[in-house]
Each structure stands twice: as structure tokens, then as C-alpha cells.
Structure 1
Amino acid sequence: MTSGAEIELIKVTKRYGPALAVDSVSLKIPGGTYCCLLGPSGCGKTTTLRMIAGHESVSEGDVRLGASVVTDLAPAKRGTAMMFQSYALFPHLDTVDNVAFSLKMKGVEKGTRRAKAMEMLKLVQMDHLAERRPAQLSGGQQQRVALARALITDPQALLLDEPLSALDPFLKIKVRQELKKLQLQLGISFIHVTHSQEEAMALSDLVVVMNGGRIEQAATPREVFNRPATAFVARFMGDHNVISGRVSKKDGATVTFEVPGGASFVAPEDQAVEVGAPIEIAVRTDRVHLADSTLHGCGLTGLVQNIEYHGQRVQVALSAPGIDEFSVQVPETAFFAKPLSVGDAVPLAWTADDVHILQKSPTA
């Protein structure tokens, strides 16, 4: 298998008439990286993937694979392979001929291409079903065949468009483990489009969060979760509370800001924040503690709006003046030791170390 090459997008833009689908995106994906393009429907992630593959033309900018600019090359000449969401297997061909099809189109001799196809099927643990047709295979088995068919061309990067979306929850977990194992084994880059935060966190070395045709943040899963760049990332990744206000004071190591409801909070000092400027902070829902009294500037009293039992934890949704939504994740044992009810007023607290100041979104 060919070793992976770096993929670079250089101010890549895609327009459909007056509509801007991808807006001057620049990104470097190191060779051998599992990269997930993550975001809501319509954010530009699939269009970006298709421009890398060559299935969509680039309106402006360049796509580079290794040392080569591939912007204007046909898909088959790029050194990439695409695995489509629908799998697109030929129903009249058996498994081995489906996998070997691209080699047949290149004029490779039958015995050689079938031997290579069997090698790929063995790689994805499907060699024992080589003679079956797609209709005789489960969804997960069809997906492995599609994966083998994409890999038979020895790509430098494999592009996957929501490959797990058609699978049931239990099979999704099994297949994503196999995908990560395969990517490590092959040593090439996998670029995987998903709208599932859990999928991106579990699989990727690099998470690229997109919104409105732009990149909001590109970093490791842990960095994206612990230090979301913007309010959009914090909210989209989930498990974060975002509080918006305006800076009223800068005092040594802290910044004080007020929310419309009159409450004030503190955050770690940030040189970029000025008095009078708007500010947004994120606090993880599992770092907020039910407390007898709030810490100064690091807490609030909320009114319980909803309670959801999630097994290991209980999610408590609250409202407070000037704050639209606020949630707390409480360990199951702690919650049921002192249970709450809808309508209860609850003091909450966190520490200044659990506060993260957010940047302005590039799509704002």
C-alpha cells in the first residue's frame, strides 16, 4: 500500500451561482492522519470532500496532494479513492468482481485483478464471502466490500462520505473500530465526513469543525472538546455551557463581565479582551457543581427546567436571568443522594480554572 501524502487545501472556494458553499478554506492534513470533517447539514463538509476527490470543481484556490497540485486532475488521476455513502455496488456482480471492477477498467488481466481483489477482501475480513452478490450481504458487509473496492487502487488518501450513517448503533461502533484499525495498518490518510460528534471524537487524529462554509476549528479531539475555539464549536460539540456578556472590568489575573440579567462573572484574564467589549465563555457541564453557595463570580442560582436520566449521569437543564440555557451533568449517585425536582432553585458553582474564553466565530 502506498504511504500517505500530505493533503493541503489552499484558499479553496466553491460557488453554485450566487450561493457560496465553501468560503476560502485553508487546511493541512498530514500524511497518515485520520481526519474528520464535522458539522451540521449544509456546512460545506461534503462539498469540501468532493473537491478533494475531484467530483466537484474548485471555483477558486488549489488542492495539493504531496508535492502535486491536483486541482484540475480527474478523480482517477489524483491518488485518492472515494467511498460513497450509498456504497454503489453492482448488483449483478459477485463480491470479488465488484472489488476488481476498477482494475478491469484499467485493462488489468483477469487473474491478476481477481488475486488483488481477494487480497483486499482478506484485508477487510470478507474473503470468505467472495462469491456472494450484494443482495446476499448485510449492510455492514456491503460497506466492507465498498471499502475494499476503494482501497484496491492503492490510494494515498481514502475519502469517506458519512460511511456509518446507514448502520445500526451497535454495528456503527464495531465498524468504526475496524476503520481506525485499518487506517493505522495502511498508514494512509482517511478523510471522513460526519455530522456525529461521537464518531469524530472516537476516530480522528484531527477534527475539522465546519460552519457556514468555513472552518471554525481544526485541532485534536481533546483540544476541540476542552478548548473549543468559538461559541459555535462549544455548542455543537455539546456538554458545554456558553455565557455571553460584556466586559465591565479587568483586574490583574481576571476579567469581570456582566450578562443582561444583571449577574456578573469572572474569567481568566485575556489580553485581547477590552473593557466594554462583548465576551463569551464556555464552562463544561460536568465541571459545574451543585453547591450550598456559589463562588464569587463563578456560579449562579438556576431554576430547574428539565431532568433527564442518562444512566451514569443525570442531565439537569436550568434557566437563569440573562442566560438562555444552562445544563449540569451530575453523577447518578450524587444526584439521587440529593434529588432535585422541576421548579427547584439550585445554587451552582464552578472554578475560574474551568472557564474558557471563546473567540469570535469566522462566520459571525
Structure 2
Amino acid sequence: MSKAAEIELASVTKRYGSAVAVDAISLRIPAGTYCCLLGPSGCGKTSTLRMIAGHEDVSDGDILLGNTMITQLPPARRGTSMMFQSYALFPHLDLIDNVAFSLRMKGVERTERRNKALEMLKLMQMDGYASRRPAQLSGGQQQRVALARALITDPEALLLDEPLSALDPFLKIRMRAELKKLQTQLGITFVHVTHSQEEAMALADLIVIMNDGRIEQAATPREVFETPATAFVARFMGDHNVVSGRGAGSADGLALLDVPNGGKFAATGTAPGDGAPIDIAVRTDRVRLRPSDTKGLGFTGTISNIEYRGASVKLSVDGAGIEDFTAIVDERSFFEKPASVGEAVPVSWDAGDAIVLGRLAT
């Protein structure tokens, strides 16, 4: 296998006519990293992947793979390989010829390319199916063949466009583990596009969260989970409540905000000027059903929904100026003193579980 290479994007922009799909993003993906580009549909993640692969032209900016500027190079000369969402296997060819196809296009002699293809199928534990055709395989088996075909050229980086989206939920979990194991075994850089927060958290060393063509945050899964950079990240990852209001100074080392038609809340971080917009995030799994010991770290609201999740219970609580505030509470503690929809409950949290969020420059 080739050695892994760092990928660097420098102010990369992609325009389709007057529409900007990717807006001057800069990103460094260290060599040997499993990177997930994560975000909702239309955020620019697939366009970014396709620009790295060379399947989309870069409107502005540059892309480097290692020390090589690849912005203008054709896909076959980039040192990258792409695995498509549809797998794009040839139905009339057996697995060996499917995997060996790119070597055939490069003029590699038949015996050599078939031996290399069989070697790649062994890596994917698919050598016993070498004479079969794609239609005779399950979805998971087809994915392994597509991976073997992408890896046969010894790429420095493997690019994956939503590779698990066509699989059933149980197979997704199994293939997730296999992808991570394969990346660790090969040691090359993986860049994987997904819209699944769970998938990105399970796989990535580096999560790049995109929205409206821009990068909201690029960090480790733990950092994204514990300290979301913006209100979009906090909402999209789903593990924080976002409370928006206006700055109201600071007290006891905490930033204060006023919520319209509501109370005053506090959070760890820098307070903006009085009256300036401010967002804070509160960890959903750290919210307790009891009154706050400190002003600004809780409120009393009405339960609007309850979802039993086995090990935990999710409650939605509405308060003055706050809607759909989420509390994830331990199943045992909830049923020791159960609450019901329509009931008024106090909710509270610790200062360390509420943080001031940043804002992207406009």
C-alpha cells in the first residue's frame, strides 16, 4: 500500500453558475486520519469530496495531497481513489475483473492484474466469491468488492461517498467496524461523507461539520460532542439544548443572557456586550429534574413529550421563552419518581454543563 498523505484545502470554493456550493473553505486533514465530512443535504460535503477526487472542478483555491498540488490534475493522477455511493460495479464482469478494471485501463498485463485483484479480494475476505458476478452478492458483499476495487491502485487517500447509506441498520453497524479496522490496518487517509451523526462519531478521528457551504467546526468527536463551536453544531449533533437571547453582563465568572418573555440564564464563557445576541448550549444528558441551587442554571417548565428509550428517558420541556428543551434522564431515576405530560417540573444543570457558543463571521 502507498503511504498516507496529508490533504490540505486552501480557500476552496465551488460555484454552480451563481450558486455557491462550497464557500472558501480551508481544512487540513493529517496523514493517516479517518475524516468524516458531516452535515445536512446541500451543505457542500459531497461537492468538497468530489473536488478532492477531481470529479468536480475547483472554482477558486487549491488542493494539496502531501506536497503535490492536485487542483488541476485528472482523477487518475491524483493519488486518490473514490468509492461511490452506488458502488458502480459492472454487472457483466466477475469480481476479479471488476476489481482489476482500473489496472486494465492502465495497460497492466492480465495475469498480473488478476493476481493483484485476488490479493485485494482476500484483504476483503471475498476471495471465495471471485468468480461470481455482483448480482449474486448481498449489499455488504458488494461494498467489500467496491472497496477492493478502490484500493487496488494503492491510493494515498481513499474517498468514500456515503458508503453505508444503502445498507440495513444492523449491517451498517457491522460495516462501520470493518471500515475503521481496514483504515487502521492500511494506515492511509480516509475521507468519508455522511449525514449521520452516529456514523461520524463512531468512525472519525476528525469530524468536519458543514453547513451552507462553510465549515462550522473541525475537531475530534469528543470535542464536537462536549464543546460545540456554534449553535448549528449544537443543534445538529443533538446533544445540547440551545438557548438564544441577549447579553446581560456577567456575574460570578459566568456570562448572563436574557431570554425574550423568559428569565435570565448563565453559562461558562465570555459575555458579549449588553444587548448583543448570544447563544448558549446546555448538555441534554446533564439536565436534572430538580430545582436549581444557583440562579440562571435552571427553570420551571411543562412537560410536552416523553420518550422511553430503554436505558434513558427523553423529556421535552417548555418554559417561558423556551420551547422543546430536552432532558435525557436515567431510566431508573425517572421511574422512581415518574412525571407525565402536562406536569410542571423544575429542571437544572451545573455551570460547567452550559457554555457560550461562538458565531461564524458573516
Inter-partner Cα distance in structure 1 for 2:331 and 2:278: 33
- Counterpart amino acid of 1:312? A
1:306 aligned to 2:320? no
Q: Which residue of 2 aligns with 1:20?
A: 20
Q: Which residue of 1 aligns with 2:324?
A: 325
Inter-partner Cα distance in structure 2 for 1:171 and 1:283: 33
Inter-partner Cα distance in structure 2 for 1:88 and 1:236: 31
Q: Which residue of 1 aligns with 2:338?
A: 339
Q: Which residue of 2 aligns with 1:65?
A: 65
Conservation of the 8 A alpha-carbon contact between 1:295 and 1:350: no
Tell me whether 255-264 or 84-93 shows the greater mean CA deviation: 255-264
CA deviation map 1:265-293 (0-9, x unaligned): 112241x6222221111011110001145
Conservation of the 8 A alpha-carbon contact between 2:255 and 2:356: no
Q: Which residue of 1 aligns with 2:32?
A: 32
Q: Which residue of 1 aligns with 2:274?
A: 275
What SS does the aligned partner of 1:290 have? coil
CA deviation map 1:194-216 (0-9, x unaligned): 00000000000000000000000
Q: Which residue of 1 aligns with 2:144?
A: 144
Query: CA 1:326 to 1:294, structure 2 compared with 1: closer, same or farther past 3 Å?
Result: farther
CA RMSD in angstroms comes to 1.1
Unaligned 5+ segments in structure 2 are none
CA deviation map 1:202-243 (0-9, x unaligned): 000000000000000000000001000000000000021001
Inter-partner Cα distance in structure 2 for 1:304 and 1:211: 31
Q: What aligned pairs does 1:64-213 form with structure 2 within 5 A after superposition? A: 64-213=64-213
CA deviation map 1:317-355 (0-9, x unaligned): 111111132000011111111111110000011011111
Query: CA 1:251 to 1:294, structure 2 compared with 1: closer, same or farther past 3 Å?
Result: closer
Q: Which residue of 2 aligns with 1:356?
A: 355
Q: Which residue of 2 aligns with 1:258?
A: 258
Inter-partner Cα distance in structure 2 for 1:249 and 1:292: 24
Conservation of the 8 A alpha-carbon contact between 1:250 and 1:269: no
- Counterpart amino acid of 2:104? K
- Counterpart amino acid of 1:127? D
Query: CA 1:269 to 1:164, structure 2 compared with 1: closer, same or farther past 3 Å?
Result: closer
- TM-score of the superposed pair, with normalisation by structure 1: 0.98
Q: Which residue of 2 aligns with 1:223?
A: 223
Inter-partner Cα distance in structure 2 for 1:294 and 1:240: 21
- TM-score of the superposed pair, with normalisation by structure 2: 0.98
Inter-partner Cα distance in structure 2 for 1:48 and 1:67: 19
Q: Which residue of 2 aligns with 1:233?
A: 233
Q: Which residue of 1 aligns with 2:42?
A: 42
Inter-partner Cα distance in structure 1 for 2:294 and 2:336: 22
Report the alpha carbon displacement of residue 155 of structure 1 after superposing the two structures with TM.
Answer: 0.2
CA deviation map 1:33-68 (0-9, x unaligned): 000000000000000000000000000000100111
What SS does the aligned partner of 1:305 have? strand
Identity between Structure 1 and Structure 2 (%): 68
What SS does the aligned partner of 2:100 have? helix
Conservation of the 8 A alpha-carbon contact between 1:232 and 1:361: no
- Counterpart amino acid of 1:215? I
- Counterpart amino acid of 1:334? S
- Counterpart amino acid of 1:123? L
Query: CA 1:360 to 1:293, structure 2 compared with 1: closer, same or farther past 3 Å?
Result: closer
Inter-partner Cα distance in structure 1 for 2:85 and 2:353: 39
Unaligned 5+ segments in structure 1 are none
Conservation of the 8 A alpha-carbon contact between 2:83 and 2:159: yes
Query: CA 1:184 to 1:258, structure 2 compared with 1: closer, same or farther past 3 Å?
Result: same
CA deviation map 1:291-321 (0-9, x unaligned): 1455311001111000011111110011111
Find runs of 4+ consecutive structure 1 residues off by over 4 angstroms. none
Inter-partner Cα distance in structure 2 for 1:228 and 1:256: 19
Report the alpha carbon displacement of residue 257 of structure 1 after superposing the two structures with TM.
Answer: 1.4
Report the alpha carbon displacement of residue 119 of structure 1 after superposing the two structures with TM.
Answer: 0.8
Conservation of the 8 A alpha-carbon contact between 2:269 and 2:356: no
Tell me whether 110-119 or 251-260 shows the greater mean CA deviation: 251-260
CA deviation map 1:100-148 (0-9, x unaligned): 0110111111110011001111111111111110000000000000000
Tell me whether 290-299 or 253-262 shows the greater mean CA deviation: 290-299
